[in-house]
Structure formats: structure tokens, C-alpha cells
């Protein structure tokens, strides 16, 4: 039975994020599934704010609809990039999907103390309506909001709807350090050494905590390691025992 490779994209991404990886795996004896997560691509956003567990549950149901045979333990290879990495970790630990191998690409999940600028920026983003509603300042609201978001680099928050803004806050508030030692399946971790979104130290920490994991790093690569090094990642995936 051919294994299934399920690829979960990052925040703001879509299934198109895995175009290069699909091409690199062309001809391999493996089924590749790349859903658009709710709120991204062609999939509508949830009706209310979600947590990482909500996303994990959605993927589990989506996979069973796409591949009912997973209920009968068809092997699943699970790959997650950035926010998708959070979801992949949760799915691997929940035990509702027979995950045989985990691939983490610049995975999010390590919570850091917020930088002072970001704390101030998010606070102002929430309260700015009050100040910009003062007579004489109302006309400056659109420009002021864009300058504020640019200053503190919270573009994901700026572009999101109210539901997705609250979802972003919820998914980023959970620290995954406590879960890493619970992962007991084979895991490969891929990281760009110049990643500014999820620093290399996050990958090093994950590697140190996930028993038996293999860590792959790439110089001069930033956050989109799954695209920049799709061929190398495909080679690692192909080197695993794909027949079970």
C-alpha cells in the first residue's frame, strides 16, 4: 500500500506552497495531499476563532474524507511548514491518524518573550481606534494603521479578518516545548540558517528534545526552506521506507 504524504502550509500560505516539493517527488510511489487550511487559499475561514487543536481536528476529518483507508491504518507521512508544523505535531500526538514519519520544516511552536516593539504595536493595534477616532485625527486612521503595522512588523495581523486575528493570537500563544519529548515517531527537521521568522535556535531546540530526530540545516536559506530546498527534502523523504 502506498503511503500518503500530507503537507500542511504555514500561516498566510496555501497548497501552492508545495509546488516545488510536488515536482521534486514526481514519479515516486507516494500519494501527496496538500489541503488549503481554513482561512487560507480556497478554504473559507472558520466562523469563530480557532486553536491549533481545532486545526488538527479539521485536518484529521479532511484526511478521512480524502483517504478513508487511513481509518484502516494506511501509513501517513506528515509534513508541516511553520504554522503547519504546529498542527503536524498536534496530529502526531493525538493518535487519530497513523503517522509513521514526521517532517518539520521551520516549524513554529517555540514561544519567545515578545519584543518590546511588538508588544507596544499589538497594544496600539487594539486600542488605536480610540485615539484615531478623536476629531481631527479620524482622516489619518488608514495611514496611521499601515505605518504602525509596518513599524512593528505585524503584517499577518494587519491583513487578517477579526476572526483570523484572534485565531493568530490563539495559535501563537501556545508553547510547544512541553510536547516535544512526547514525540515517539521518526522525525526529520529542516531549517534555513538565515531564518528570521523561526530562528535556527528553535530548530536546534526541537532537535534536542525530539528523541532520535535528524536535523538538516541549509546555509543562506530563510524561512521558506520547504521551497528553497525542495529537492533535498524530497530526497530525504524518498530515502525513508515508503512501503509498509
- Among 168, 193, 209, the domain-final residue is 168
Find residue 189's DSSP bridge partners.
Answer: 104, 215
Contact 64, 35 (CB under 8 A): no
For 239, residues 6+ apart whose C-beta sits below 8 A from its C-beta are none
Provide the 8-state DSSP code for 17.
G
Domain co-membership, 142 together with 31: no
Q: What is the CATH number of the domain that holds 201?
A: 3.40.50.1820
Q: Of the candidates 168, 174, 182, 243, which has an alpha carbon nearest to the alpha carbon of residue 211?
A: 182
- The boundaries of the domain holding residue 128 are 116-168
pTM of the entire predicted model: 0.84
Domain co-membership, 73 together with 50: yes
Q: Is residue 244 part of a domain?
A: no
Question: Looking only at Cα atoms, what is the longest distance across the chain?
Answer: 69
Domain co-membership, 232 together with 143: no
| pLDDT tens track, the chain, 244 positions | 778 999 999 999 999 999 999 999 999 989 999 999 999 999 999 999 999 999 999 999 999 998 777 666 778 999 999 999 999 999 999 999 999 999 999 999 999 876 444 444 555 555 555 444 545 545 445 555 554 444 434 556 567 788 998 999 899 999 999 999 999 999 999 999 999 999 999 999 999 999 999 999 999 999 999 999 999 999 999 987 654 4
Domain co-membership, 134 together with 217: no
Amino acid at each position: 500500500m502506498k503511503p500518503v504524504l500530507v503537507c500542511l502550509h504555514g500561516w498566510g500560505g496555501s497548497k501552492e506552497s508545495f509546488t516545488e516539493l510536488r515536482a521534486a517527488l514526481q514519479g515516486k510511489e507516494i500519494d501527496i495531499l496538500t489541503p488549503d487550511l481554513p482561512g487560507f487559499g480556497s478554504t473559507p475561514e472558520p466562523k469563530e476563532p480557532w486553536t491549533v487543536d481545532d486545526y488538527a481536528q479539521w485536518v484529521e476529518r479532511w484526511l478521512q474524507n480524502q483517504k478513508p483507508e487511513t481509518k484502516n491504518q494506511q501509513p501517513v507521512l506528515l509534513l508541516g511548514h511553520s504554522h503547519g508544523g504546529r498542527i503536524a505535531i498536534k496530529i502526531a500526538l493525538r493518535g487519530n491518524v497513523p503517522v509513521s514519519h514526521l517532517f518539520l520544516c521551520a516549524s513554529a511552536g517555540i514561544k519567545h518573550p515578545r519584543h518590546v516593539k511588538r508588544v507596544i504595536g499589538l497594544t496600539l493595534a487594539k486600542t488605536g481606534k480610540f485615539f484615531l477616532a478623536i476629531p481631527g485625527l479620524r482622516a489619518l486612521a488608514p495611514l496611521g494603521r499601515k505605518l504602525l503595522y509596518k513599524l512593528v512588523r505585524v503584517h499577518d495581523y494587519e491583513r487578517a479578518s477579526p476572526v483570523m486575528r484572534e485565531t493568530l493570537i490563539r495559535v501563537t500563544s501556545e508553547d510547544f516545548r512541553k510536547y516535544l519529548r512526547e514525540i515517539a515517531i521518526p522525525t526529520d527537521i529542516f531549517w534555513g540558517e538565515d531564518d528570521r521568522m523561526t530562528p535556527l535556535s528553535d530548530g536546534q531546540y526541537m532537535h534536542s528534545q525530539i528523541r532520535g530526530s535528524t536535523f538538516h540545516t541549509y546555509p543562506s536559506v530563510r524561512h521558506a526552506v520547504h521551497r528553497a530546498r525542495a529537492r533535498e527534502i524530497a530526497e530525504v523523504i524518498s530515502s525513508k521506507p515508503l512501503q509498509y
